[in-house]
Amino acid sequence: MDQVLTGDCLRQLAEVPEGSVALAFADPPFNIGYEYDVYNDRKSRADYLAWTSSWLEAVRRVLKSDGSFYVAIGDEYVAELKVRLDALGLTMRNWIVWHYTFGVNCKRKFNRSHAHILYYVMDPKHYTFNAAAVRVPSARQTTYADRRANPVGKLPDDTWVLRPQEDESFFRADSDTWYVPRVCGTFKERTGHPCQMPEAVLERIVAVSSNPDDLVLDPFAGSGTTLAAAKRLGRRYLGIELSEEYAECVRQRLAEIGEQRKEA
């Protein structure tokens, strides 16, 4: 625990004890031609889906009986991933759609401005969901002064609007929508990895689907955002990264979080 392993995720996952992970978050390569340093993001469709089936099954093996599994994926393969996750006996809780206004510019189709997060659990009757950690005031409270409103607020919707023009707090007190920007090249949060998840999104996922000291797994550690969120929130973490260069950057990022805590 509390380390970043370097190497192929299938080989490394085989060494992780069965039923040890409370929460897994995966943001795998989308197979759309991103330029990684050592990974080929241009596999044939058949090879990519065969590999996808293997790593999904490997992650399922290490999940606890009450564990949760989030997978971020693009349009091209989201349906195939859902079919495979269903076949593994997992239960979908939400199909989350991100919409961000700072989209990817396209020349011969509508601009890409959304992504998907599939949220699954091992057991639909027994899983961690810390509702109090993510509740927000509802419109009944903030706009209509409706006495029927739940005084503790409501859970956020399953559509998250990611907007770069919002303030640094990310989650406005009067909104149930996730206003979080894509991590663009000019953002202070940027680490240099070509596909970086926003910290605020991972912090909310870790907060709602795990408890302190739980083990959080990211089989494609990338820029280390999942692990950084887990460390900040007092969870144990385990990351796997194919690239030694990316893995070393993640270790440095995690070390800086430790230094920030000492200074605080």
Domain regions of the chain by residue span: 3-128+180-263
pLDDT at position 50 is 97
Distance (Å, whole) CA 68 – CA 65: 9
Distance (Å, whole) CA 216 – CA 26: 11
pLDDT at position 262 is 56
How does strand 91-104 pair with strand 63-73? unpaired
Distance (Å, whole) CA 217 – CA 224: 11
pLDDT at position 38 is 84
Q: What single-letter DSSP state applies at residue 82? A: H
Dihedral angle computed from the Cα positions of residues 13, 15, 19 and 20, in that order, rounded to the nearest 10 degrees = -90
- The pair of three-digit structure tokens given for residue 183, joined into one six-digit string: 């991590």
Q: Confirm if 204 and 134 have CB atoms less than 8 A apart.
A: yes
Distance (Å, whole) CA 99 – CA 182: 10
Dihedrals φ, ψ of 121, to 5°?
Answer: -130, 155
pLDDT at position 181 is 47
pLDDT at position 41 is 87
Q: What is the pLDDT along the chain (264 residues), one digit of tens a residue?
A: 899 999 999 999 999 999 999 999 999 999 988 778 888 889 999 999 999 999 999 999 999 999 999 999 999 999 999 999 999 999 999 999 877 766 667 788 887 778 899 999 999 999 999 999 988 777 777 778 888 888 888 888 888 775 544 434 444 434 444 445 444 444 454 444 445 577 878 998 999 999 999 999 999 999 899 999 999 999 999 999 999 999 999 999 999 997 666 565
How does strand 91-104 pair with strand 112-121? antiparallel
Dihedral sign, Cα of residue 6, residue 247, residue 180, residue 139: positive
pLDDT at position 197 is 77
- The pair of three-digit structure tokens given for residue 50, joined into one six-digit string: 């065969």
CATH architecture of 3-128+180-263: 3-Layer(aba) Sandwich (3.40)
- The pair of three-digit structure tokens given for residue 174, joined into one six-digit string: 């009067």
Dihedral angle computed from the Cα positions of residues 255, 261, 183 and 21, in that order, rounded to the nearest 10 degrees = 70
Does the model's pTM come out above 0.75?
yes
pLDDT at position 195 is 52
Nearest alpha-carbon partner for 86 in 124, 51, 43: 124
